[in-house]
Amino acid sequence: MKTTLALFEIGQSIWYDNIQRSLLENGELARMIKTGEVRGVTSNPSIFMKAITQSTDYDQSLELLKASGMSAEEIFFKLAIEDIKSAADQFHSMYIESNRGDGYVSLEVSPYIADDTTETVRQAKNLWQQIDRPNLMIKIPATKAGLPAIEAAISAGLNVNVT
């Protein structure tokens, strides 16, 4: 903890590169925020896959969503959006208190569209609208097609995190 505070004092903000439903529901993320251990959260499809496949946190939701006829990608984004909203809400006070300098939560667009500028922009805007949190960052891959998508997303007023 002393290390994270020392880093913050010299201008570095530690982001947690992990998200999982139990972390959001059992108070662990709230504790990490309160103690200053983390100043943001980043996620990606690999992180969510690990959370979904290596825990029982999502089992009930998965069964319900599967029965609804949703595709695997639709199920993934439904679960991810729920978790990102919860995390963003938990970081909201930090976001306000830091004058929007910290308290962000990041969600990546699908890696399957990394070479499609138009689809990346469409999905980034769609995720932004669905999550509807000011402390959201949309993570966009820095591919050849991703660079103009990053510019378009920023021009549209989205907070962008580049990977």
Active-site hit among 2, 78, 125, 139: 139
- DSSP per residue, the chain: -HHHHHHHHTT---EE----HHHHHSSHHHHHHHTTS-SEEE--HHHHHHHHHSSSTTHHHHHHHHHTT--HHHHHHHHHHHHHHHHHHHHHHHHHHTTTSS-EEEEEPPGGGTT-HHHHHHHHHHHHHHH--TTEEEEE--STTHHHHHHHHHHTT--EEE-
Catalytic site includes residue 144: no
SS3 per-residue string spanning 104-118: EEEEECCHHHCCCHH
Inter-residue contact 43 to 108 (CB < 8 Å): yes
- Residues carrying an active site annotation: 139
